[in-house]
Chains A and B, each alone.
Chain A
Amino acid sequence: MSGRVLVGVKRVIDYAVKIRVKPDNSSVVTDGVKHSMNPFCEIAVEEAVKLKEKKLIKEVVAVSCGPQQAQETIRTALAMGADRGIHVQVAGKDYESMGPLQVSKIMAALAKKEDAQLVILGKQAIDDDCNQTGQMTAALLDWPQGTFASEVALEGDKIKVVREIDGGLETIRINTPAVITADLRLNTPRYATLPNIMKAKKKKIANMKPEDLGVDLTSRLEVLRVDEPPQREAGVKVETVEDLVGKLKDAGRV
């Protein structure tokens, strides 16, 4: 057992930012918009760091794929307690077309290269909401997967994962190495404090290219159109109960 955990972190548009679609409907506006780490990735980092604090694992490695700015996200993960980072440089056209399949190929290649015991990812990113990377990584590695984890416990060479499923919880026991994806209730991520961010600057981030890992980034998907959600229509004020009932009848509600 290597005791190494690989954590994937994604740089996304901050959750509090109002998303705007580009006028040509090709994608959303990302220039000059505040970015931060995907909230579910924060939960994944926190879980890995917690396991390390309990001395159940030895090293936490934060991985991010993307342009230069992805390093900020890795830095945040390092400030939260990860030991070192790996930045897989993907820029320009490759980055625009990069989807879960490409990322999971990179994650799978890195998991093998780093001899990881565990891969922890967020269940989904708040920008594309794909919810596929963890599952695909597990498939590519042919490892067991514990998705939507709301509780993780290491039991020797097995892992007990409590999963969030529709209307309840499911408890499974899987072998290691494994892939785990974090759900919202897994833990409460700590805040990356200023002194910790300063300290994180001393930690190492390795630079890599997808070619170094022998990963082909060709995408088989094409985005046809991106649209804003429909605008909420303005309401009307009614004077009397009869008015209200009449309007509701017109709308076919009663």
Chain B
Amino acid sequence: MANPLKGEVIKLYKTLLYLGREYPQGAAYFRGRLKAAFMKHKDETDPEKIRKLVARGDFVIKELEALYFLRKYRAMKKRYYEPEK
């Protein structure tokens, strides 16, 4: 398993695990899903396909960051601003 993409995949996993700590449904829920998603492709050997999967992971990172930001923004807006008429 001396795949040159190994480092990248591990980095992606670590980043997602870190992001998952803030997940609304809890870190444990997220961790389970994350692991399952990675394990599903554990036998993947085609570098092109792995690259595609990593790109999908990067997209999920962006989505999560956007989700957290929106969640916080909405909470602040609800607390500190009058509802718009």
Cβ contacts under 8 Å, A40 to chain B = 76
* B44 adjacent to chain A (CB < 8 Å): no
Tell which of A184, A189, A194, A195 touches B80, judged by Cβ atoms closer than 8 Å: A184
Question: Complex formed: what's the CA distance from A194 to B21 in Å?
Answer: 12
Determine the interface band of chain B, counting residues with CB < 8 A from chain A. 10 to 19
Please report the number of residue pairs spanning A and B whose Cβ atoms sit closer than 8 angstroms.
Answer: 27
B73 touches A184 (CB 8 A): yes
Contact with A along B18-42 (1 / 0, CB 8 A): 1000001000000000000000000
* B6 adjacent to chain A (CB < 8 Å): no
Cβ contacts under 8 Å, B73 to chain A = 184, 188
Given contacts A194-B14, A194-B18, contact A189 B76 (CB under 8 A): no
B76 touches A15 (CB 8 A): yes
Contact with A along B42-69 (1 / 0, CB 8 A): 0000000000000000000000010011
Cβ contacts under 8 Å, A188 to chain B = 69, 73
B72 touches A39 (CB 8 A): yes
Nearest CB in chain A to that of B22: its residue = A16
Cβ contacts under 8 Å, B18 to chain A = 194
CB distance from A81 to the nearest CB of B (A): 15
* B10 adjacent to chain A (CB < 8 Å): no
Instruction: Please provide the chain A residues from 117 to 143 with a CB less than 8 Å away from any CB of chain B in the complex.
Output: 126
* A193 adjacent to chain B (CB < 8 Å): yes
Nearest CB in chain B to that of A195: its residue = B15
Given contacts A193-B15, A194-B14, contact A39 B76 (CB under 8 A): yes
Main SS of chain A's interface residues?
A: loop
Determine the interface band of chain A, counting residues with CB < 8 A from chain B. 10 to 19
Contact with B along A188-229 (1 / 0, CB 8 A): 110101110000000000000000000000000000000000
Tell which of B24, B65, B69, B75 touches A15, judged by Cβ atoms closer than 8 Å: B75
CB distance from A140 to the nearest CB of B (A): 26
CB distance from B24 to the nearest CB of A (A): 8
Nearest CB in chain A to that of B68: its residue = A191
Interface residues, chain B, with chain A CB atoms under 8 Å away = 14-15, 18, 24, 65, 68-69, 71-73, 75-77, 79-81
Q: A184-B76, A191-B69, A193-B15 are in contact. List 8 more A-B contacts (CB 8 A).
A: A16-B24, A126-B76, A126-B79, A184-B80, A188-B69, A189-B69, A194-B14, A195-B15
